[in-house]
C-alpha cells in the first residue's frame, strides 16, 4: 500500500504555514516522510534541534496544528536523519 500523495501535500502545506514561527526563533522544520499508518516524520533544525523545549514545540505546536488541520494524521514524530 502506498502513501497517500494528497495527504502528503496537505501535511507539507501545514508545515509551510508553521515554518515562519519556528524561523522567527532561529529554528526550522523539515518534512521527512509519511508512514503507511499516517505518522508524519519531521526533523527539527537550527535552534529547534537542540532546544530544551523542542519536545513541547513538536507535540503542542507542530503535531497539534497538523492533526487539527488533517484529522487522518495520527502523530508527528521527530526523527534523526544521517
Give per-residue pLDDT as tens, 29-67. 999 999 999 999 999 998 888 778 788 888 888 999 999
> Domain-by-domain residue ranges, the chain?
5-78
Closest CA to 77 of 23, 31, 36: 31
d(Cα 27, Cα 20) in Å, to the nearest integer?
A: 9
**Is domain 5-78 in CATH 3.30.420.40, yes or no?**
no
pTM for the whole thing? Answer: 0.88
d(Cα 70, Cα 82) in Å, to the nearest integer?
A: 28
**What is the pLDDT at residue 2?**
57
| Strand intervals (E) in 1-82 | 27-34, 39-46, 75-78
Beta-carbon count within 10 A of 49 CB? 14
Amino acid at each position: 500500500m502506498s502513501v497517500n500523495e494528497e495527504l502528503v501535500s496537505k501535511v507539507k502545506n501545514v508545515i509551510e504555514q508553521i515554518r515562519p514561527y519556528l524561523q522567527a526563533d532561529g529554528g526550522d522544520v523539515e518534512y521527512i516522510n509519511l508512514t503507511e499508518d499516517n505518522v508524519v516524520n519531521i526533523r527539527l533544525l537550527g535552534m529547534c534541534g537542540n532546544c530544551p523545549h523542542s519536545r513541547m514545540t513538536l507535540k503542542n505546536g507542530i503535531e497539534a496544528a497538523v492533526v487539527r488541520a488533517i484529522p487522518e494524521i495520527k502523530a508527528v514524530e521527530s526523527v534523526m536523519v544521517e
